[in-house]
Structure formats: C-alpha cells, structure tokens
C-alpha cells in the first residue's frame, strides 16, 4: 500500500517514520535500506516500509523468504491489518502536514 509523504519541508521522512515506531534495516545483499515495525517480539510478522518517490510503500511480511537467495516472502499489500497501519501512519502525517 502506498502512502503519499506529505510532510513539511523541515521534516525528514526517515526521521518521521522512525518516530512512528519503525526501525531501520539494511539488506546487505542489495544495499537497500528499509524500515520495519514488528507486531510481536519476533522477527515476523512485521510491517515493512520502503521510502520511494515521495511515498511510503507499506506491506506486511508474514514470514521470512522461503528459499535462500530469493527475496520472495508472504507479503500482504492490502487487507484490514495493512489498512489499519496505513491509517495510523496517516494520522501521524496529519500532525506534520505541510
């Protein structure tokens, strides 16, 4: 699910997403940085966000990649849980809106 980043120019999207409870992770294979928020005390399930072209790209990772060397996972890009998380982030955005 894509969420438009509509922030005041003084607010960095990285700082913003960390304030909403996300932690930075780096994929050492690809070098790509993204952000996660765990639903419980385990690695999975977790919300996963990429910052891309003025949007937060949100999905829910249900489990780790199934096969070594692949990036495929059980990601959900829609549904009630993802929509509720998107709404939570959008409520934070309203506080920092331009």
User: What predicted TM-score, i.e. pTM, was given to this entire model?
Assistant: 0.85
- Residue 45: CB atoms within 10 Å: 16
Which residue(s) pair with 3 in the sheet?
56
| Domain count of the fold of the chain | 1
* Whole-number pLDDT of residue 64: 78
Tens-digit pLDDT profile for residues 10-23: 889 999 999 999 99
Domain with 27 in it: 2-96
Tens-digit pLDDT profile for residues 72-93: 556 899 999 999 999 999 999 9
Spatial contact of 89 and 3, defined as CB atoms under 8 Å apart: yes
Tens-digit pLDDT profile for residues 35-73: 999 998 888 999 999 999 999 999 999 887 766 655 555
Q: List, in sequence order, every beta strand (DSSP E) within 1-98.
A: 2-4, 23-26, 33-38, 46-52, 55-61, 75-76
């Amino acid at each position: 699910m894509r969420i438009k980043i509509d922030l005041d120019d003084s607010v960095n999207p990285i700082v913003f997403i960390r304030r909403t409870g996300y932690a930075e992770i780096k994929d050492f294979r690809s070098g790509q940085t993204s952000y996660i928020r765990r639903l419980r005390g385990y690695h999975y399930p977790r919300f996963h966000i990429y910052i891309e072209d003025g949007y937060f790209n949100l999905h829910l990772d249900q489990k780790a990649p199934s096969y070594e060397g692949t990036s495929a996972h059980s990601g959900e890009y829609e549904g009630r849980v993802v929509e509720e998380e998107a709404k939570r982030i959008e409520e934070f955005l309203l506080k920092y809106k331009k």
